[in-house]
Amino acid sequence: MAESIIKMEGGVIRQQKNTILKNVNIDIASGEFVYLIGKVGSGKSSFLKTLYAELPLEYGKAEVAGFQLKKIKKSQVPLLRRKCGIVFQDFKLLIDRNVYENLEFVLKATGWKNKKAIKERIETVLTKVGMSDKQTKMPHQLSGGEQQRIVLARALLNAPPLILADEPTGNIDPETSYQLVELLKEICDTGKTIIIATHQYDLIEKFPGRVFCCEHGELYEKTPAKACECTDEVLPLPPVEEIIPDPSSEAGMIETQNTEEVPEDTTTVNRETETVAATEVTSQTTDLTETPEQTEAETEDKKTAEDSAEDIMTLIGKLDYPEITAFDYELDHLPEIKPEDQEVAAQETSTTTEVQEELPEKKEKQNLPPALDVELID
């Protein structure tokens, strides 16, 4: 039997003083293909972060790739992560350098110094994921599926025995996700341990493996391995029962039982009915006593009220526009000018125009220079 690469007993996973998972007992052997499923916020990512020491294990015992998580030191965390290839959902590629430089940066950061060995290793992992012709491409020049393959190649650089994929198919289409998981399955067949956190439950049927479910603060194995029942699917509504009318009844409808309760004090009810009847009779009598003159007066009052309302609305509408002012509105309501007044106004305007024509002549005469006296000059 293969040795255990992940083993946890009584583990309690917490994040910011909030308990995410409790009483976690899990044992995963080397070379296993494992799915981690559950609703959003159920603790899948927190569990993976605990495995590569991103979150500390406060309670319980856990061993990952030979490292005790409870006793691990900060100086040992990089050594643990070299044995854990991590595939992120959002890629986390360096956008200011090409594919080759991205992978070269990781190798140099983990202690590689020989340029020839670095080049051979990069070509090996890119060939394994089918991206050997993309070395000089920038991340923005690649599709989502191609970027995810580059991220997988980056995870394989140091030949880790354990690969943790956190929602690797979240940002790619279903067909590309099948190709990616098929590639992960091939890598698993070489003896690597693969753990995939996913919401794409059809992968479980296409590429079978062990299934662990995060639900209600617990982590347990699904046996037999199948999709989790805690999906986010909307349940169908129950069928509505049709009511068939009873042909024996007169109107073809189902008779309803009389569920009205008899009031205790019948006298008050009788008084209320009497008052209602009296008011109805008085209203009818008042309607009958109305004369045609009163109705005509009421209609005229309504018309005047409507006209005044229209005048107010037109005034408000004109004031809303800057080109029409209140002064323009007042001009519309000036008294009408009679024909006699129009003639007087025309005469006044003609006289004013004549005066205005004479004024320039006077001004020109005033502006002329004084005449010279010839006799005085002689």
What digits encode the pLDDT tens for the residues 123-161? 999 999 999 999 999 999 999 999 999 999 999 999 999
Using alpha carbons, select from 66, 72, 97 the residue that is nearest to residue 84: 66
Share of the chain above pLDDT 70, in %: 59
Q: Which of 164, 184, 157 is nearest to 103 (CA)?
A: 157
Alpha-carbon distances of 254 from 240, 241, 293, rounded to whole Å: 17, 15, 52
Burial 293-317 (b: 16+ CB within 10 A, else e): eeeeeeeeeeeeeeeeeeeeeeeee
Tokens matching residue 129:
């994921």
Given this model, what pLDDT does residue 52 score? 94
What interhelical angle do 144-155 and 115-128 show, nearest 10?
Answer: 130
Closest CA relative to residue 58, chosen from 26, 84, 19: 19
Confidence of residue 115 (pLDDT cuts 50, 70, 90): very high
SS3 111: coil
- pLDDT of res. 350: 55
Contact 197, 212 (CB under 8 A): no
pLDDT reading at 196 higher than 70:
yes
Q: Which of 114, 103, 217 is nearest to 151 (CA)?
A: 103
Other CB atoms closer than 10 Å to residue 194's CB: what's the count?
Answer: 23
pLDDT > 90? residue 35: yes
CA 314 distance to own-chain centroid: 44
CA 346: distance to chain centroid? 72
Confidence of residue 188 (pLDDT cuts 50, 70, 90): very high
**pLDDT tens across 237-249, in order?**
344 444 454 544 4
pLDDT number for residue 202? 92
So where are the chain's domains?
Answer: 4-221, 310-358
Lowest mean pLDDT among 47-61, 163-177, 261-275: 261-275
Cα torsion 119, 124, 127, 129: sign = negative
Three-class secondary structure of residue 161 per DSSP: coil
Pair of tokens at residue 260: 């009205």
- Tell me whether residue 91 is exposed, middle or buried, using C-beta atoms within 10 angstroms of its C-beta: 0 to 12, 13 to 18, 19 or more: middle
Q: Is the pLDDT of residue 250 over 60?
A: no
Q: Which fold has domain 4-221?
A: Rossmann fold (3.40.50)
pTM score of the predicted model: 0.60
Interatomic CA distance for residues 9 and 240, integer angstroms: 49
Report the DSSP pairing between strands 33-38 and 210-215.
parallel
Mean pLDDT score, 91-105: 94
Residue 37: predicted pLDDT: 95
Kindly state the tokens that stand for 276. 């209602």
